[in-house]
Structures are given as C-alpha cells and as structure tokens.
Amino acid sequence: MREENRVLYDRLTADLRSLGRVAVAFSSGVDSTLLLKAAVDALGSSVLAVTARSRSFPERENLEAAAFCRGNGVEQVVVEVDQLSIEGFRDNPPDRCYICKKQLFTAMMEAAAARGFHVIAEGSNMDDLSDYRPGLKAIAELGVRSPLRDAGLTKAQIREISRDLGLPTWKKQSFACLATRFVYGEHITDEKLDRVDKAEQLLMDLGFHQLRVRIHGEDGKLARIEVMPEEFEKLLRLREEISRRYREFGFVYTAMDLSGYRTGSMNSGIDLA
C-alpha cells in the first residue's frame, strides 16, 4: 500500500476504534465494503453490519452483502424498508434523497440500537461533496458518522486501498439507488423500477462495466443508456439485441447518451440556487 494511503487507512481505523462499538450501513458497494473492513480491523467483533433491503436496490446487491458478511464473520441485520410508502418519495421531488435517507437511516438506527449499537456509520466520501447530495443533510441531522469522509478519502483512494487489502469490490462499478435514474418530478413506480433494474442487469450481463440506464417520460417508455466512452463501439455493435430486449421490458425508445457515463447527470436540469 502506498504510504499516503497507509496514512489515510490508519487514520480511518483510529477514528473507528475511538467509537467503541459501531454499526455500519452496509450495501456491498465499494465505499461501504471498505468501511466495514476497516471497522472490523479496528474493532473486531464489536461491529454490526446493517443492510436496508428496499425496492430500489437490486437483489444482487443484497446477496453480495450477505455473502461478504458470512465470509468475514460479521454479524448482519437486514432492515426491510418500503420506500414507495414513504410520504413524498413517489412524487420524486429534488429532495427525494433527503426524504428517503431520513426514513432509511432512522430504521437502521433503530435496528442497531435494539442490538446495543448506538453509533452508526455510513460510506460517503470526499467526492460526494462535489455533487448535489440532499441525503447528506439527513445523515447530518441524524448524527450518522461518515468516517471515510472524515479521513479525507476520495473514491480513487478507496479503490486503491480496497485493491491492496484484497477486497473484491475494488473494481466494482459505482452504484446508486435506482431512484436516481428518474427525472425529478416524474413519478416512481414499482413497474418503472423493475424496468430499469432489468435494463441495467442486461447491460451488465453483456459485459458493460460502469453504466446507468436513465428512464424518461411519465410513462417511463424512454431509456437513455450511459456507458463509458470506450464502450460506445460495443454498445453500437449490440444495439439491435439491446433494443429488442428493452422493448420486451416495456421501453418503446432506447437512446445512447453521447456524453457517456457520469454521476449526477439527473441533477444537471435542476436549479440548486
């Protein structure tokens, strides 16, 4: 491990050690996996993984989270959350992430506290400060800790340290809740969530790495595919198969975004003033 990353990781584990007992909000993503690994290194068995199962997270993520906890001897509790029943969530306002995270973390904190864990940590990092992230406000209001961010870790450093520690997630694609695929103001439904989930799973099955499928129109009939520019040629080569399968999923139109994959692309059309 590079000296700079070793210093950062030592800072992270020292911070976690000072907390005594920690529940980690664990999704099996790149960030939360490193956070959970660091918590175990710092605190041993005084760690609880809390995973929220909801409609906007594919089942593959839940299965990976459970497998990681089993393989590393980490106690895990799964909290079922019906996001579509959260007041305001379906309407998909610009602060949807705040509304959702407030309920999500409240439920996880209650589950952790019932098991004697009164400190909960989550995996946001320094890069999250550069985009519109209303969920961070909910996290701050609830007193949830963000050790990766406190240690000054960027996404690139998290991946490097994860690789050096032998974590399988070091090159895993970045993932966010499927609700982030919707245009603000266009309603979120079970049917459209399922459509997006299937659309992204197909691209992963075809070997695409970092991707998003954005859904447009109140009827959710238009899919806008974002992949890395180096995979444009592959996407065009497979366009007929993808278009055919997307029609089976319920999309009428399939578009390729010429700007390629980028985080927060749905935030570009809103006024953050």
Question: Looking at the 3D structure of the chain, how many domains does it have?
Answer: 2
Does one domain contain both 213 and 261?
A: yes
Q: What is the pLDDT of residue 262?
A: 86
Does one domain contain both 55 and 153?
A: yes
pLDDT digits (tens, 9 = 90+) for 44-63: 999 999 999 998 999 999 99
Does one domain contain both 77 and 182?
A: no
pLDDT digits (tens, 9 = 90+) for 65-78: 999 999 999 999 99
Does one domain contain both 14 and 99?
A: yes
pLDDT tier at 268, thresholds 50, 70, 90: low
Considering the chain, what is the average pLDDT of its residues?
94
Q: What is the pLDDT of residue 179?
A: 94
Domain span at 243 = 178-269
What CATH number is given to the structural domain containing 262? 3.30.300.10
Residue 13 lies inside a defined structural domain of this protein: yes
Does one domain contain both 187 and 104?
A: no
Q: What is the pLDDT of residue 270?
A: 56
Residue 70 lies inside a defined structural domain of this protein: yes
pLDDT of 264 over the 90 cut: no
Average confidence (pLDDT) over 181-198 = 96
Residue 173 lies inside a defined structural domain of this protein: no
Does one domain contain both 210 and 156?
A: no
Which of 139, 164, 189 is the last residue in one of the domains? 164
Question: What is the percentage of the chain residues whose pLDDT exceeds 70?
Answer: 96
pLDDT of 271 over the 70 cut: no
pLDDT of 185 over the 50 cut: yes
Q: What is the pTM of this model?
A: 0.91
What CATH number is given to the structural domain containing 75? 3.40.50.620
One-letter amino acid at 138 equals: A
pLDDT digits (tens, 9 = 90+) for 114-173: 999 999 999 999 999 887 889 999 999 999 999 999 999 999 999 999 999 999 999 999
pLDDT of 260 over the 50 cut: yes
Q: Which of 182, 28, 174, 157 is nearest to 96 (CA)?
A: 182
Does one domain contain both 88 and 203?
A: no
Q: Which residues contact 35 (CB under 8 A, 6 or more apart)?
A: 24, 26, 121, 122, 123, 147, 148
Residue 233 lies inside a defined structural domain of this protein: yes
Residue 171 lies inside a defined structural domain of this protein: no
Does one domain contain both 241 and 118?
A: no
pLDDT digits (tens, 9 = 90+) for 80-103: 999 999 999 999 999 999 999 999
Residue 120 lies inside a defined structural domain of this protein: yes
Does one domain contain both 69 and 199?
A: no
Distance CA 182, CA 265 (A): 10
Which of 164, 188, 218 is the last residue in one of the domains? 164
Which of 115, 135, 164 is the last residue in one of the domains? 164
Residue 243 lies inside a defined structural domain of this protein: yes
Does one domain contain both 118 and 195?
A: no
Residue 205 lies inside a defined structural domain of this protein: yes
pLDDT of 113 over the 80 cut: yes
Q: What is the pLDDT of residue 90?
A: 95
Q: What is the pLDDT of residue 273?
A: 45
Does one domain contain both 83 and 129?
A: yes
Does one domain contain both 114 and 213?
A: no
